[in-house]
Structure 1
Amino acid sequence: MQRRTLLAGAGASVLSPLSLALSGLPGAARAAAWPERPIRVVQGFAPGGNADTIARLVSGEMARGLGQTLVVEAVAGAGGTLASAAVARAPADGYTLLLATGGHAVTGALYDKLAYQPVASFQMVSTITYFPFLLLAGPDARWRHLTDMLAAARAKPESVAYGSAGVGSTHHLAGELLARLAGVKLMHVPYKGDAAALTALLGGEVPFIVVPVTAALPHLKTGKVRALAVTGAQRWAGMPELPTVAEQGVPGYDVRSWAGWMLPAGTPAPIVERLQQETQRALQQPTVRERLEAMGGEVRASTPQEMTALVGAEVQKWTQLVAEARISRL
């Protein structure tokens, strides 16, 4: 009896932290066996776009470690809110994963009646990449630098227009934040997506637009458009000669979008931990990193807690801007 007691005690002493965590959770057996079937990966934008590409690239590598297929599905529309709503109401069992972008925080600030809370309805897993925007001037623009454009806007308020991918997009609010911090009035002209905004820029409809790096690069190579500034806090490695907005007389300006994984709130901690570890592993693979960096991104994983803090701060930032700039809520 004493020997059996000692053996039982020894067995208990070598339980893994994961096993100990599972022992105290409802549905521990299900979490221990996870994943037993393919995982649905939801993203809220058109197939073939940035979000879709990131979701497929990273989940494809994660599937190797998880031993299950990750099936990417586009639930496009309403600025990504349809996808977020679908994941928020899904079972919290680890089989529905959201590829969220910076637009998730923007819609949280702009939309009055969402079917979810942008932070509380989700369990954050990890960020994947951060990427800035470019302020891109058209072929007829007379400015060589952002400072020239801001001087023109100060001299004649609302005489300078900028295009974006649509009302309520991160691009739109990036322009509003620029106007607010620089003390100028700009006229916003919304288009239906980056392609339409670029067409308008090339056609002379607007003198500059806010656009992601990936959409701008093909046009920069032709020499028909000119980058005035990068919107992040640091210069973009792909164009190290291009100054930031902050470096050109607008201190404190920093607008970057991001992409990261979210789960429905209440997903068991061991599943969250496993997905975070697989994300880190995937982002360490040279082929994955190189492709994300080629898209203009800064590859960076995070802890769930760090991502929760990021999303909360972003929602607060954009909510304050919407109120101060008196932007109509949707």
Structure 2
Amino acid sequence: MTADFIVSAMLMDQVEYSFVHETSDGQDAAQQHWRQDMIPNTKTMGLNRRDWLLGAAASVCGASARAQAPGWPTRPVQLIVAAPAGGPSDALARMLAEDMARSLGQPMVIDNRPGAGGVLGVEALMRSAPDGHTVLMSGIANTTAPALLPKVGHDFVRDFVHVTQLVAGSNVLVAHPSTGFKTLADVLTAAKAKPGKLTYASSGNGSSGHLAIELLKQRAGVSLLHIPYRGGAPALNDLLGGQVDLLVINQDAVIPYAKAGRLVPLAITSPARIKLFPDLPTMAESGVPGFEATAWAGLTVPRGTPTQAVERLHTAAKSALGGAVGAKQEDIGAVVVGSSPAQFGEFVRKETEKWAQVIKTAGIKPD
């Protein structure tokens, strides 16, 4: 209900003013008139009648203005997605944007900026004003890029405010059936017996699958031969054809091939088991303590973004995750997170440090 306080007449002894309000059904209610007998006895209050009226008018007008202040956001919010339209990141972004727009009272417009391992999206964010109207859907690539590409020109930990981690998704280490592997322990035993003989595919140097197995190698003390491909599809095709032995693949992509007996799931990369594969152990359970390599998505804004905007974005995202958006993500096996800015900032710091160490130790260079 909106209100406008109108001083309709101000006379020495005859003052009339009206309060016009809009009802919930959008129709203007009849003006209500308060006359002189409605005004307090200003003499007993030590006030001049005119001063009292002006003060009352200013008070009500001020309250009305505060209630109707536009605040943030004042225009559509741009959501940068550092991935092509049609992919899983884009799908999540579009569901999220639709839901968050209802909470924010402004549209959220998707801006796809694929390329350079997520760097193009970050650069677009850096060029934006730190006013909360430009947001990045961040992910694991943003925490690996600084180590892979030392000249990126930003520090992903310090140069941004990390609003919330939205979801986390597991990958699965799979083997071709011809290897005879049934567990991660089988792989580690074979790798130690014949160092550098087992092969693993990835979608490219520095990809999440590549880094996950490099982390495994370093934690387990084994040697595996990396075969990089230009994309996930050719890597998967060669694994299915038996040209390579191992691959780390997205959890939901494994299901049809596992059911058909064309791939053997060995372990998941998340710290806890997932409902898509409740009987599949984690890497940590399989003999590599502390192992964690998850795909994730979050919301990030430039440093200097007003606290009000960060809080509103966090609240809107949490609301979406608590509804249909979160339910949909859980249906495909993702874990809904919804962390606070402080928690997400700490997560980003740890991820960045972990992957920087893995990349340095392995000597990984981008394609």
Partner of 2:230: 192
Residues 329 and 197 (structure 1), Cα distance of their counterparts in 2 relative to 1, 3 Å cut: closer
SS at match of 1:248: coil
Partner of 2:139: 101
Q: Which residue among 202, 206, 211 is the counterpart of 1:164?
A: 202
Residues 295 and 194 (structure 1), Cα distance of their counterparts in 2 relative to 1, 3 Å cut: farther
8 Å Cα contact 1:194-1:215 kept in structure 2: no
In structure 1, what is the Cα distance between the partners aligned to 2:340 and 2:328? 22
SS at match of 2:191: helix
Partner of 1:44: 82
Partner of 1:309: 346
SS at match of 2:156: coil
Q: Which residue among 261, 282, 290 is the counterpart of 1:252?
A: 290
- Displacement of 1:140 in angstroms is 2.4
Q: Does residue 315 of structure 2 align to residue 280 of structure 1? A: no
8 Å Cα contact 1:89-1:264 kept in structure 2: no
Partner of 1:239: 277
Partner of 2:259: 221
Q: Which residue among 333, 343, 351 is the counterpart of 1:296?
A: 333
Deviations 1:92-127 (A, max 9, x none): 122211001112111122211103221222121111
8 Å Cα contact 2:94-2:110 kept in structure 1: yes
In structure 1, what is the Cα distance between the partners aligned to 2:92 and 2:252? 12
Deviations 1:163-212 (A, max 9, x none): 11211112111110101111100111112222222112112121110111
SS at match of 2:73: coil
Q: Does residue 357 of structure 2 align to residue 327 of structure 1? A: no
In structure 1, what is the Cα distance between the partners aligned to 2:46 and 2:258? 78
SS at match of 2:110: strand
8 Å Cα contact 1:139-1:225 kept in structure 2: yes
In structure 2, what is the Cα distance between the partners aligned to 1:197 and 1:70? 35
Q: Which residue among 304, 328, 334 is the counterpart of 1:266?
A: 304
TM-score by length of 1: 0.88
In structure 2, what is the Cα distance between the partners aligned to 1:74 and 1:153? 41
Alignment coverage as a number of residue pairs = 310
In structure 1, what is the Cα distance between the partners aligned to 2:332 and 2:140? 16
Deviations 1:128-162 (A, max 9, x none): 00111100112422211111111111011110111
Q: What is the 5 A alignment of 1:87-126? A: 87-126=125-164
In structure 1, what is the Cα distance between the partners aligned to 2:127 and 2:103? 27
- Displacement of 1:216 in angstroms is 2.2
TM-score by length of 2: 0.79
8 Å Cα contact 1:164-1:189 kept in structure 2: yes
Q: What is the 5 A alignment of 1:121-160? A: 121-160=159-198
In structure 1, what is the Cα distance between the partners aligned to 2:352 and 2:46? 59
Deviations 1:206-229 (A, max 9, x none): 111011113323322333111110
Q: Does residue 218 of structure 2 align to residue 180 of structure 1? A: yes
In structure 2, what is the Cα distance between the partners aligned to 1:2 and 1:109? 72
* Gapped regions of structure 2 (runs ≥ 5): 1-44
In structure 1, what is the Cα distance between the partners aligned to 2:97 and 2:177? 39
SS at match of 2:273: coil
Larger Rg: 2
- Please tell me the root mean square deviation across aligned C-alpha atoms, in Å: 2.3
8 Å Cα contact 2:167-2:336 kept in structure 1: yes
